[in-house]
Structure 1
């Protein structure tokens, strides 16, 4: 007998809270390591390099330039340029991804703001970058970012959540200050430098 399915069955889950999104972005490396440990297989250097190259290609195909793609993939720009110079196959794939993004109008500095740009923006903010530096990294003009935060409260909430988890600078220990330079209590006089205090010495020999 046919039974009608519940209308909520198979429905997509609702949007995540801003804090959940930031937590997912910060824990994605740990998730990948957990998947590797699940099959009891330690990745080789070749596996890590290929996976990082794939991340660079994904970022480039979504409109991110080379410095931003390097941050997206978690590799230094100098290492990335070394791969381009030393691996012709990777260089060809990278140029093809850049051409694909340009053909669809995904270029930094233009009106398009892709989820990849927002993802990298949030990752940079949560890692300690300022809003202006993060916007410059992903190629989003600062004016456009301010306008987007005014128009879309959800984006403003994500930016606030990313800034709230930034690592706080470690407090440095106060420098030692000699006692002669420390502030005195009211009524106390500061001793002059080089001054002597007169004391009375007792005669050790008793008087007869």
Structure 2
């Protein structure tokens, strides 16, 4: 993932030095310069966090490639299942767990329907979350796991309402949080900057418009794996 850098104008251009060189004016100028530096550091850290979250697949691929050849399909499936269980144990709902594991929710539901062991493990993860006061549902206390899902969804192109809803936040509540917590606001902006760029409009000669009500195809992503005769029971 390419992290877009921020151009920052020189501090003297943003906050011109006061005409007077007295001690009071110098103190105000120093405070303004410190605020600019803090904002710069927060933006850089937020960009780095979003970059690390997006580079997860790249890290996993490198680890699996260290054994030679393509990863096995079973290994890939079990790794996604483990991430779903991790998200569920932290109180996230099924759709949020799918975002956490970077997989379609319909595929996740299909796995649950076909794999009794995975379904039982998911119920255990839900029970663990409930025993520690993190059951999925209307959240009274925001958690870092919810923030992670919102940031991931935003960075992958979801709208603000979509990302907030899948993470389990009320839209207004999340907006208030981002207004009162500068670090959260920096993460949201970094996620927006990391969104994939929309392709330029190109109309081929043989283009035919879609029928009314027909949704446009979404972006596709593929993982190369080594197929096996049987992946799930």
**Structure 1 residues 175, 88: CA separation in 2 closer, same or farther (over 3 Å shift)?**
closer
> What displacement does 1:109 show?
2.3
Aligned residues of 2:99 and 2:152 also touching (Cα < 8 A): no
2:165 — aligned with what? 136
1:7 — aligned with what? none
Distance 1:89 1:173 in 2: 47
Distance 1:79 1:175 in 2: 33
Give yes or no for the alignment of 1:36 onto 2:71.
no
The one of 124, 142, 146 equivalent to 1:117 is 146
2:188 — aligned with what? 159
The answer for unaligned runs of 5 or more in structure 2 is 1-41, 206-233
Aligned residues: 163
Aligned residues of 1:108 and 1:138 also touching (Cα < 8 A): no
Aligned residues of 1:126 and 1:163 also touching (Cα < 8 A): yes
Distance 1:91 1:144 in 2: 32
> What displacement does 1:171 show?
2.8
Give yes or no for the alignment of 1:72 onto 2:97.
no
Which SS does the other structure have where 1:111 is aligned? coil
1:45 — aligned with what? 73
1:92 — aligned with what? 120
Deviations 1:83-113 (CA, angstroms, capped at 9, x unpaired)? 2122111111101111111222223421222
> What displacement does 1:37 show?
1.8
Distance 2:204 2:62 in 1: 44
Aligned residues of 1:59 and 1:72 also touching (Cα < 8 A): yes
Higher RCO by CA contacts (8 Å cutoff, separation 6 or greater): 2
Give yes or no for the alignment of 1:25 onto 2:53.
yes
Give yes or no for the alignment of 1:56 onto 2:84.
yes
> What displacement does 1:164 show?
1.0
The one of 201, 217, 221 equivalent to 1:172 is 201
The one of 115, 124, 146 equivalent to 2:175 is 146
Aligned residues of 1:36 and 1:42 also touching (Cα < 8 A): yes
**Structure 1 residues 57, 174: CA separation in 2 closer, same or farther (over 3 Å shift)?**
closer
2:130 — aligned with what? 102
The answer for unaligned runs of 5 or more in structure 1 is 1-14, 177-208
The TM-score normalised by the length of structure 1 is 0.72
In our comparison, the structure showing a higher alpha carbon Rg is 1
